[in-house]
């Protein structure tokens, strides 16, 4: 992976090329001068939180660009089977050629995906394999509990029995693995919960949903049978009575019981 990142770093205007996993952990890095590993590691947390929030409305995002007064941050989603959704980040100054950079980051993200999924780089990724803050993998909708820790494995081979649908709410940073849903309607309901709750409490809604699912289904994948209990838990987060009722009505329309 270092070779791939070095190729990006050699491009004019690029000061750092960094690969983060879904929880914002730095997987690989190449940087010039001040863009050392320690600095880039600090960026992982805020970046993962920002992408968590973005995914409320844009769960199919592929690339992003942040334009600053003194440079540019380019992001490219890299969906991998071995490390979950990762993000390739380029830190560049004003001399960057945006057209070249767009092509280069696409090519490099494909190479990184192959490197990560090919197994050769797995040791540098750690033993994660868990679903992550940077989004669910559209091509791998199934996930199954991996072990006593409750972490998830976002890989088709792990989806045995019961068949669990990824809810898109599997955020490793909120502690001890993610949230799983028993079937697709249940996963859809969780997504609806996060979206409706966000109207009242803002971008922390997904975290509240995840915490509430752990309370109402501590040992089981979430299913619609627990939808009423989940709705009541979440409604308690809303101060205004009218808003609370509107929230419950919206959830019923979304398939809740």
Partner 1 sequence: MTDLETVANIAGVSAAVLGDLEGTFLGAVRTGDGETIAAEMGFVGSSFLDIGALLGLGTLGSFSLSGRARSCLLVVRPQSLITALISPPQSLGPVERAIDTAFQEWT
Contacts with partner 1, residue ranges (CB under 8 A)? 34-35, 39, 42-43, 46-47, 49-50, 53-54, 56-58, 60-73, 91, 195, 198-199, 202-203
Question: How far is Cα 187 from Cα 190, in angstroms, rounded to an integer?
Answer: 5
Of the candidates 69, 76, 68, which has an alpha carbon nearest to the alpha carbon of residue 101? 76
CB of 53 to partner 1, least distance (A): 5
User: 96-101 — which CB contacts under 8 Å span 24+ positions?
Assistant: 96/11, 96/12, 96/13, 96/14, 96/71, 96/72, 97/11, 97/12, 97/13, 98/65, 98/72, 100/11, 101/11, 101/13, 101/14, 101/74
Q: Which is nearer to partner 1, 63 or 188 (CB)?
A: 63
Query: By the 8 A CB rule, do 234 and 199 touch?
Result: no
- Shortest Cβ distance from residue 90 to partner 1 (Å)? 11
Q: Provide the minimum distance between the beta carbon of 230 and partner 1 in the complex, in angstroms, as a whole number.
A: 19
Contact 8, 90 (CB under 8 A): yes
Cα gap 216→229, rounded to integer Å: 7
Compare residues 61 and 163 and give the one whose CB is closer to partner 1: 61
CB-nearer residue toward partner 1: 3 or 38? 38
- Cis peptide upstream of residue 251 (ω within 30 degrees of 0): no
Q: How far is the CB of 47 from partner 1 (least distance, A)?
A: 6
Minimum distance from residue 244 beta carbon to partner 1 (Å): 16
Beta carbon nearer to partner 1, 2 or 62:
62
Cβ closer to partner 1: 134 or 159? 134
């Amino acid at each position: 992976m270092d070779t791939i990142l070095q190729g990006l770093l050699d491009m004019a205007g690029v000061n750092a090329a960094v690969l983060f996993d879904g929880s914002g952990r730095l997987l690989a890095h190449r940087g010039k001068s001040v863009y050392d590993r320690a600095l880039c590691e600090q960026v992982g947390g805020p970046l993962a939180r920002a992408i968590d929030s973005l995914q409320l409305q844009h769960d199919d995002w592929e690339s992003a660009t942040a334009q600053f007064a003194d440079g540019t941050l380019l992001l490219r989603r890299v969906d991998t089977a071995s490390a979950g959704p990762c993000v390739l980040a380029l830190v560049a100054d004003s001399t960057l050629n945006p057209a070249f950079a767009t092509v280069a980051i696409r090519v490099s993200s494909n190479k990184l995906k192959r490197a990560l999924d090919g197994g050769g780089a797995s040791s540098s990724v750690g033993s994660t394999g868990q679903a992550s803050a940077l989004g669910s993998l559209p091509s791998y909708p199934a996930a199954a509990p991996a072990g006593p820790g409750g972490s998830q494995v976002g890989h088709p081979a792990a989806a045995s029995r019961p068949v669990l649908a990824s809810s898109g709410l599997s955020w490793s940073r909120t502690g001890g693995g993610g949230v799983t849903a028993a079937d697709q309607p249940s996963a859809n309901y969780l997504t609806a919960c996060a979206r409706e709750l966000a109207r009242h409490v803002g971008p922390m809604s997904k975290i509240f949903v995840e915490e509430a699912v752990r309370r109402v289904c501590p040992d089981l994948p979430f299913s619609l049978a627990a939808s009423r209990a989940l709705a009541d838990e979440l409604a308690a987060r809303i101060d205004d009575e009218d808003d609370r009722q509107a929230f419950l009505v919206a959830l019923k329309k979304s398939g809740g019981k």
